[in-house]
Amino acid sequence: YRAYAAFPDFFQNSTITWWAREISEVYNNPQNFSMSLKFDGIWIDMNEPSSFVHGSVSGCRNQELNFPPYIPQLGERSQGLSYKTLCMEGQQFLADGSPVRHYDVHNLYGWAQTKPTLDILHELTQERGIVVTRSTFPTSGQWAGHWLGDNTAAWNQLDKSIIGGTSKKCHFGGDKIGLSPGKIRIYGKIREKMTTTRQDPVAWNSTFEEISRNVLNIRYRLLPYLYTLMHQAHATGSTVVRPLLHEFVGDRRTWEIFKQFLWGPALLISPVLEKGAVEVNAYLPDARWYDYHTDEFIRFRGQFQNLSAPLGHINLHVRGGYILPQQDPAQTTFYSRINPLSLLVALNDSQQAEGQLYWDNGVQIGEF
């Protein structure tokens, strides 16, 4: 924020010790216990690392590192690699004391912070908790979920949010859930400030409230299926939100589809992405499909079709051959977990279906 500041080097063990102390003193205030702030999770922001100063307040020294022959498409190529981040010649040290340039480990900054943060959270709370981080790298998904960052509640952002979501192993969502795809994400939040328009459902009208309630209840109903997918992602490295090509890689038409996505292998989501649209041109790969809302068998496959998408309706299709566990929704996940479970069985062409359910107490570490 245009001030003199230092960025912690999370490769160093001494930094992890400092980070643990900082977090623990929030959880248990050593000066005044009544000022302690208990929490269940930690949300990490700006850890690309990001800065509102390009490089440093005094500029960068190494022209070759900050302006290499090839510069990827950044906000401003003319600013070089230090655009809204650190100077590339910045010095960091690995745990064994080996020096490295920030240029060589920039993409690992968030990764180096993530696992220690989860370990600290477990130590403090003795519960599973959650870590959400804006900067990830391969293997980060076993410790935390990824969020996109400061996308806006604008129509031209919706397809980009799907692209971002399907590119991460354990993607949690973006910043705005006010529009169609946002409400069917595995994680949604609304960030506002005093200078922006309110976007929570009750800030609109009763029609929007009802639409939001209905769509969010679908997500709550599907939590057992989603919870199982999350466990599989944690245990085996599979994906939760995935592009169609992950399931139908032999179908070349799926390779370029980015306006639809899947939850796991079995739930196809085809949202409205254009303002005023009342239908969606959706592709249903070569499998047996059923309308999630009506249980109706879909009598086409392996082709695009225009599907009706009136206000408040998101096209959801269940893939034949799978069983989706469900649960009656409630006001919160605590109460919904008490409600009865059910199974949605979608038969394939051989009149067979299978599925999985992972279930535990939802809180403790290693408890089934």
User: What is the pLDDT averaged over residues 42-52?
Assistant: 93
115 and 197 part of one domain: no
233 and 344 part of one domain: yes
Residue 149 lies in a domain: no
Residue 31 lies in a domain: yes
337 and 209 part of one domain: yes
For residue 173, the SS3 value is: strand
Q: How many domains does the chain have?
A: 2
Residue 25 lies in a domain: yes
The DSSP string of 224-269 is HHHHHHHHHHHHH---SEE-HHHH-TT-GGGGG--S-EEETTTEEE
261 CB burial (10 A radius; 0-12, 13-18, 19+)? buried
229 and 360 part of one domain: yes
Instruction: Supply the pTM of this predicted model.
Output: 0.86
195 and 342 part of one domain: yes
CATH number at residue 276: 2.60.40.1180
Residue 133 lies in a domain: no
Residue 162 lies in a domain: no
> 280-303 pLDDT, tens per residue?
999 999 999 999 999 999 999 999
Query: Which residues form the domain of 265?
Result: 189-368
> 127-185 pLDDT, tens per residue?
999 999 999 998 888 898 888 777 777 888 888 878 777 765 444 555 454 445 555 55
230 and 81 part of one domain: no
Q: What distance in Å separates the CA atoms of residue 357 and residue 362, rounded to the nearest whole number?
A: 13
Cis before residue 49, ω within 30 degrees of 0? yes
Q: What distance in Å separates the CA atoms of residue 314 and residue 324, rounded to the nearest whole number?
A: 18
> 64-79 pLDDT, tens per residue?
999 999 888 776 778 8
Q: Which of 96, 125, 154 is where one domain is finished?
A: 125
Residue 338 lies in a domain: yes
Encoded tokens for 125: 């709370």
108 and 234 part of one domain: no
**pLDDT band at residue 228, thresholds of 50, 70 and 90?**
very high
- Residue 184's pLDDT is 56
Residue 82 lies in a domain: yes
The torsion of the CA quartet 238, 244, 247, 252, rounded to 10 degrees, works out to: -130
Q: Which of 100, 125, 150 is where one domain is finished?
A: 125
